[in-house]
Chain A
Amino acid sequence: MEPATQARLSQLRGNAPAKRHNARTVAALTGNPGCARRAVLDAAGIDKNALAAQVGFPAKFGQSQFAITRGNSFEAQVKANGYAQLVRMLRETLGLDIEEVGSKDLETVGGNESQELRHIRARQALQAAVEGREPLTFLDHPLLRLDVGGNNVYLEPDLVAFHHDGVLHVVEIKSFAIIDDQADGSKVAAAARQSAVYVLALRRLLGDDRVSHDVVLVCPKDFSNQPTAVKIDVRKQLIILDHQLTRLARIESLVELLPPGVSLDLATHTREELLTTLATMEARYEPSCLNSCEMAYLCRHEAAGCTSALGATVREELGGVETVARALELAAGRAVPSVEENDAAAMLRNTARIYGSVAPA
């Protein structure tokens, strides 16, 4: 990234420490790739949660301590006794002969190691493993890096990389249950998208043929605490992710659009100032933002009256007209359609006439 862009982004963030990315946030970023607001906020490492709360539209992504406790204890259980359970499951799921087990936890102990250093340490260990220089089967918590919109971001290392015969597999441990070989589809899909982020980051580090597109998802089985593993092919997710990361407008061009000198430092700006600055970053709200982005309630508020706030299908069925008011004017024949609006207007007038002929007054 250009130093100038870097400087603009850090100015935008102000004195607050940069928020770290994780696989979930990167996966979500590709879910709404057209949103400039989110791209800039994420590239600048701004704490969107705090920002949204400060401007009066707090996000609702609270986490229950019960879920966190359960997640942690399940993960600890799976990794207990030198990864004993994990080894057994990987043997069965991947059909591999695993004999020796060497492992390395790349989590920082002291905590004051820089991200750059941690990343280097992870890279060295991963390379040593795949090149056979060190007998490592499990590399836990490697800090990975990924280029997002021209900006290098570090990924919160919630993964275990499993090494066998020069090839790595991403292992994701999740605490939602797989019941009768079926799990909540949206949770599996989210896990697959997140794993794809890790696969991509590992591939960019070590080369495509060093990292398998088959990831291993480890979850509790049925209603018990016993883990079970399934193999998920994330090739499709990888293609989408790669495509969308490439497509993500280069962050430079978005940053250039910002008025000079703006900052979103929560400590030094009022709510009104923050809102004014945010208004310079174009948002592209859609209902799924409610599940994926901390800014959703602000963006929804701004998008009130837009057909897209009702969902992409509704917008389409309203002829792709941008606002509800315009759609209704066209439907009632109160406005003269532009050339592009002609088809939509005819369809809307027809729908309105038919609805009016049968709807109760």
Chain B
Amino acid sequence: MSAISSYARALAVDGGRAFPIATRRHVHIAGEPLVLIPLTMAGEANAPLAAMVGTRRDDPALLIVPQPRNRDLRFAFADELAAVVLRYVEDRTRQGIETYGKNQDPRYLDAPQLLVPNPGGVGFVRLFGRSTRFRRTTGEYAVSPDVPLLGRWLSFLAERAEHPGSSALLPMTSALNLHWATGQSSLEDTNLAATLGWITSGPDAAREAEDPTVWPPAGPSTDPTFDNEILAPALRQWDEGRHERARALLDRDLRTQLEPTWRLMWQAIDLLRALPAGDSVDARWTEDRNEFTSYYMYVNSGGYPQPRRDQAVAAARRLQRLEREQTAFDATLALDDPLVMANYRVTGEAFAGTVVESEPDRKVPGDKGRRVLRPLLVVRSDDPLRLTVGTDVVSPGRRKQVAKILEIDGDRVTLQIEKGMTVAPTPAVGEEITYTSVFPEGMQSPKLPTAEDTPWTHGGPPQPYVASDDDAREVWE
């Protein structure tokens, strides 16, 4: 949250509709995303009850578990979900491959994107991945070979979801809240129907969204009244041996719980697609494609499932990487979008104004006595100026051209261009320009991990985690 987003929330309350806090789209929306709405059984540890899943809005698949307490039925569900997810993953690799970098590394042109309604949906993916990736395909408690593979892909996606800027697994509420401020609290924003209500209609729609009989919860938890009055009798049918009847009932009732959210998901996808993509979205998606390609090849070369927990060193490095990604993400968002930059203008880490003086040919004595080109400009700004003399700044349109603040006098900032004079002309008098100290290059240079520190997504720590018999058995105890 920020002063800008809080102000936009106030405007939303007053105006009776959500207000934009971004002018560009900052997430990638795939041409063919896989939408997944999972439901779980109350009281159990991530026991699936149903899921609506698919890549086409007019053709969702409904998967159900007719008795979630029965573990064989859960794994039958896992098998069905695996068929959908694994086919989707395979299809990504069919879109072609390119090579990049000096090593000519391969990279698929597409990557999987899983869209879930809310952060709870991400939690489901993570835990379901965890509960399936160690399963054995032979011997006692054998499952279909697809099940552990599903587990690894879900685990992969859930891990990616923790990386700022990744669009591999997105909770829809978070994606929307990155672009719009509603007139409700952030706690209430986790209700997909309510957030969309604010964006497309107004507060009445958001209130209606809280009525589970109008808008069933978007999962993974179900409405307790639904559990007690509808689900319980249907499950009883199953327990009493009337399997066909139970399936028919569950199919009908769970469909009514899931369909409204299914429609909302696609409505949200339309809204996000209508926004023009930010300049860096593609680069971040390329990172998702890189990660996907490495993991796909790792899996196909017979690699191990992800460990239960990272080893200490790996965990520390991972944390460091996440922090770095967060800083880079925040900065590129601002550079891509003047409305995000507005946050930094309020806090004084950026300022916008008009160029009032410009000396593109100015030369000053350099280190070796030679005179070097150091263009000078003066910007007049109404923004609060809190940057200090000596700070390096860049402008969104001139990210490679670094300027240094020489002087601040009232509303006038004098800057000297230090680097990248040739990548763009010196801003001319009359030009509107924004400068900020927040830029990705300005932060600690990202160090690539060494071979033995390769993140587990790339092939695991030095001593790979090997699933034990215990891992394979635990779910049947």
Q: Does A120 contact B (CB under 8 A)?
A: no
A71-B43, A307-B10, A360-B23 known; 9 other A-B pairs, CB under 8 Å? Answer: A65-B232, A223-B46, A287-B186, A310-B6, A324-B10, A328-B10, A354-B352, A359-B8, A359-B23
Interface contact B43-A175, CB-CB below 8 Å = yes
Interface contact B7-A318, CB-CB below 8 Å = yes
B residues 167-186 touching A (CB-CB < 8 Å): 183-186
Residues of A close to B46: CB separation below 8 A: 177, 223
Partner-A contacts on B (CB < 8 A): 1-11, 13-14, 19-20, 23, 41-46, 127, 130-131, 183-188, 210, 212, 222-225, 227-228, 231-232, 308-309, 338-339, 341-342, 345-346, 352, 382-384, 474-475, 477
Q: List 26 A-B contacts (CB under 8 A).
A: A60-B212, A62-B223, A64-B224, A70-B42, A71-B43, A175-B43, A177-B46, A179-B45, A179-B130, A223-B46, A288-B187, A290-B187, A310-B13, A311-B187, A313-B1, A314-B9, A317-B6, A350-B346, A353-B382, A354-B342, A354-B352, A355-B7, A357-B342, A358-B23, A358-B339, A359-B8
Interface contact A311-B186, CB-CB below 8 Å = yes
Bound Cα distance from A91 to B457, whole angstroms: 38
Q: Identify which of A66, A71, A224, A305 contacts B475 (C-beta below 8 A).
A: A224
Bound Cα distance from A287 to B188, whole angstroms: 8
Residues of B close to A290: CB separation below 8 A: 187-188
Residues of B close to A331: CB separation below 8 A: 7, 10
Q: Majority SS of interface residues in chain A? A: helix
Interface contact B10-A354, CB-CB below 8 Å = no
Residues of A close to B2: CB separation below 8 A: 317
Report the contact-size class of chain A (Cβ under 8 Å from the partner). Answer: 35 or more
Interface contact A354-B383, CB-CB below 8 Å = yes
Residues of B close to A181: CB separation below 8 A: 309
Bound Cα distance from A226 to B474, whole angstroms: 9
Q: Identify which of A62, A68, A180, A223 contacts B43 (C-beta below 8 A).
A: A68
Interface contact B43-A66, CB-CB below 8 Å = yes
Interface contact B185-A287, CB-CB below 8 Å = yes
Residues of B close to A70: CB separation below 8 A: 42-44
7 tightest Cβ-Cβ pairs between the two chains A and B: A70-B43, A62-B224, A177-B45, A64-B42, A67-B43, A317-B6, A287-B185
With both beta carbons as reference points, the residue of chain B lying nearest to A347 in the complex is identified as B3
Interface contact B309-A180, CB-CB below 8 Å = yes
Bound Cα distance from A359 to B5, whole angstroms: 12
Interface contact A64-B43, CB-CB below 8 Å = yes
Q: A358-B339, A360-B20 are in contact. Are A223 and B308 (CB under 8 A)?
A: no
Residues of A close to B4: CB separation below 8 A: 351, 354-355
Bound Cα distance from A328 to B232, whole angstroms: 50
Interface contact B42-A66, CB-CB below 8 Å = yes
Q: Does A43 contact B (CB under 8 A)?
A: no
Residues of A close to B225: CB separation below 8 A: 62
With both beta carbons as reference points, the residue of chain B lying nearest to A352 in the complex is identified as B7
Bound Cα distance from A225 to B475, whole angstroms: 9
Minimum Cβ distance to chain B for residue A20 (Å)? 21
Residues of B close to A180: CB separation below 8 A: 130, 308-309
Interface contact A63-B224, CB-CB below 8 Å = yes
Minimum Cβ distance to chain A for residue B314 (Å)? 15
Minimum Cβ distance to chain A for residue B89 (Å)? 24
Bound Cα distance from A305 to B232, whole angstroms: 41
Task: Encode contact with B along A300-328: 1 for CB under 8 Å, 0 otherwise.
Answer: 00000101011101100110000011011
With both beta carbons as reference points, the residue of chain A lying nearest to B475 in the complex is identified as A223
Interface centre among A175, A310, A317, A350 (most CB of B within 10 A): A310
Q: A313-B6, A317-B6, A358-B342 are in contact. Are A66 and B227 (CB under 8 A)?
A: yes
Residues of B close to A144: CB separation below 8 A: none
Q: A66-B41, A310-B9, A310-B184 are in contact. Are A317 and B14 (CB under 8 A)?
A: no
Minimum Cβ distance to chain A for residue B51 (Å)? 17
Q: Does A86 contact B (CB under 8 A)?
A: no
Bound Cα distance from A348 to B19, whole angstroms: 17
Residues of B close to A60: CB separation below 8 A: 210, 212
Bound Cα distance from A181 to B308, whole angstroms: 10
Q: Does A220 contact B (CB under 8 A)?
A: yes
Q: Does A112 contact B (CB under 8 A)?
A: no
Bound Cα distance from A68 to B228, whole angstroms: 11
A residues 54-75 touching B (CB-CB < 8 Å): 60, 62-71
Interface centre among B5, B13, B225 (most CB of A within 10 A): B13
Residues of B close to A223: CB separation below 8 A: 45-46, 131, 474-475
Residues of A close to B185: CB separation below 8 A: 287, 309-311, 314
Bound Cα distance from A67 to B225, whole angstroms: 12
Interface contact B227-A305, CB-CB below 8 Å = no
Bound Cα distance from A123 to B474, whole angstroms: 41
Interface centre among A313, A348, A353, A359 (most CB of B within 10 A): A359
